[in-house]
Amino acid sequence: MNLVRTAMLIAVLTALFMGVGYMLGGQGGMMTAFFIAAAMNLFSYWNADKMVLRMNHAVEVNAQNAPEFHAIVADLSKRAGLPMPKTYLIDQPQPNAFATGRNPNNAAVAATTGLLQRLTPAEVGAVMAHELAHIQHRDTLTMTITATLAGAISMIGNYALFFGGNRNNNNPLGALGTIVAVLVAPFAAMLVQMAVSRTREYSADQRGAEISGNPRALASALAKIAQAAKRIENPLAERNPAMAHMYIYNPLHGERMDNLFSTHPNVENRIAALEAMANSGTFAPTAQAPAGPTYGEPTETAGPWGTSQSEADPNTGPWGRAPGKPNDRWS
């Protein structure tokens, strides 16, 4: 069913792209837009995950330099019946995470250093279970292609703003076509993008809680992430807002209302749904994971494990313990 929805979504965004092309250049512009959209879809299918990771300056980590984080993802992957995805860290103090990849066999999960610094291992595990749920539901392909096409439609709208007002006889709608291209098409693409994210976040919350067996840990993690995101800016996300819907929580400032214009559902509603799951009796009580050491505010020079790159010990994990030592129980 997800594959059908993905195909329908791509068709809608491609039609929007072609519509903008027609408004700006008539039939020739429409065909040009079609071939561009087809090329972008093909390119996005094979390379969107790499583009997203590169744009976020993500660094791949493994069992040697991030043993506990890697172990958490590996254990959750087994629980979910998924291949082990590649694991990445982003040197960013705002706590957040996302998943990407065209299918479960070519997937990656990324967490910010702020997530590892501010959350307990149990909460980190719950967040990564949410991201694995996106992979299992094959949301990652839809979300990355949507980000690419929505960004492209906005880009062509900006082009129309600066160049659509000239005397172009190929523009069948004249000034009206330019106005529609500038305003309506990017707005429509934005609505499609937001609708995809909002509906799938609830589904990923539910499946993530099932994978980790700890809905309250995910509820607690969302509360901490939301509180920190109000105070900590994510410059990379601000420069690339088309990627905002990929994160577990909206990394952009000023987008916290549960309305048509938010990329994510209201966090209080998500927490309430998770609490209802926890109270339903479906989940057996789980042991409280140790909170680990207390971290202060991340600094501008913070490396992947909360210290400056020059001081970082490559043999130390994200909670300050060396590889080979027992991991804290996280669920």
- Catalytic residue annotation: 131
The answer to whether residues 306 and 92 touch, using CB atoms and an 8 Å cutoff, is: no
Task: Please state, in angstroms and rounded to a whole number, the distance separating the CA atoms of residues 140 and 290.
Answer: 31
The three-class DSSP label of residue 257 is: coil
Q: Count Cα atoms within 13 angstroms, Cβ side, for 218.
A: 35
Task: Please state, in angstroms and rounded to a whole number, the distance separating the CA atoms of residues 1 and 141.
Answer: 14
Q: How many residues does the chain have?
A: 331
Task: Please state, in angstroms and rounded to a whole number, the distance separating the CA atoms of residues 69 and 80.
Answer: 17
Q: Is 134 annotated as a binding residue?
A: yes
Q: Is 123 annotated as a binding residue?
A: no
Task: Please state, in angstroms and rounded to a whole number, the distance separating the CA atoms of residues 81 and 210.
Answer: 12
Chain-centroid distance, C-alpha 177: 33
Q: Which residues contact 330 (CB under 8 A, 6 or more apart)?
A: 72, 120, 121, 122, 124, 125, 289
According to DSSP, residue 1 is labeled -
Closest by CA to 100, choosing from 71, 62, 69, 60, is 60
Task: Please state, in angstroms and rounded to a whole number, the distance separating the CA atoms of residues 268 and 15.
Answer: 35
Q: Is 201 annotated as a binding residue?
A: yes
User: Could you tell me which residues are annotated as the binding site?
Assistant: 130, 134, 201
User: Could you tell me which residues are annotated as the binding site for Zn(2+)?
Assistant: 130, 134, 201
